[in-house]
Amino acid sequence: MREIKFRAWWPNLKYMGYQDHNDYSCVGRNYELSVGNIVVPMYDGDYTLMQYTGLKDKNGREIYEGDIVTAPWHWEEPHAIELPEDYYSFMEFGISDKMTIVGNIYENSELLR
């Protein structure tokens, strides 16, 4: 079973927060997510959530949606991870532990051509 974790990008703060553990709370219909030391309501549209793929790169770093990875034998250029499409490639080819995370689409978009 895959571990369900998220990270969030706040463009106004230019901050990427990582969830240390599954930390959700519910009060009525208002859900909140704690990411790092920031608690945000789930309905607030000023951030982007990215899900953990459940896999790690060759350096042991967790691979999330939006990460930019290199895997020259699979993609010619650096590649931005998308779920669920890339997850199936990981499973089919078993390549996640051979990839390297070089950035993400929010902080390092210049890596994508």
Radius of gyration of the chain (CA): 15
Spell out the per-residue pLDDT of the chain, length 113, in tens.
667 788 888 787 788 877 655 444 444 445 556 555 566 655 556 778 888 888 889 999 999 999 999 987 777 899 999 988 887 777 766 677 788 999 999 999 999 97
Q: Return the domain boundaries, the chain.
A: 6-106
- Residue 25: what pLDDT? 44
